[in-house]
Amino acid sequence: MTREEINTQAKEIIKLGFSYLKQSEAYDDFEGTKTRTVYLGTVFGIMPSGKYYEPYANSNVDACPRCKGTRKFNGQDCPYCEGMGSREALEDDWMHEALMHHAAQHGCFVSSGEGNPCDIFLSQEVEEVV
């Protein structure tokens, strides 16, 4: 996928999530902040690779087809994986960045689940009405 395609998908995911978020009730989070939260999905359905990726344990991602995971191509950072060694990991990074960017445009943030880090949530702190 291209970065533009990923950005478009992320924008649509956040747009849909935000439409549900506006209808959800606020609750006190663990710090006592009034927050609204909606479930967006899992990394398996949202991330381009469909995998849960950890930079320190990346054996589940495919090596870049151009640099074969070496991160270098013709003596420079591989342009296809931008020196990450895996195109999948790069596309997942792009998705994460795009989700965060589009969420911030709505005054929201993206987080993973406390009980399951594969779950992805859209949240927004709200002003308490007195």
Q: What is the pLDDT of residues 80-114, one digit of tens each?
A: 999 999 999 899 999 999 999 999 999 999 999 88
* The pLDDT of residue 128 is above 80: no
Domain ranges of the chain: 3-125
> CA 122, 124, 125 angle in degrees (round to 5)?
150
Do 44 and 52 form a contact (C-beta atoms < 8 A)?
yes
- Listed in sequence order, the residues at least 6 apart from 18 whose beta carbon sits closer than 8 Å to its beta carbon are 106, 108, 122
**Distance, CA of 109 to CA of 100 (rounded, Å):** 6
Query: 6-55: per-residue pLDDT in tens?
Result: 999 999 999 999 999 989 998 887 778 899 999 999 999 999 999 887 66
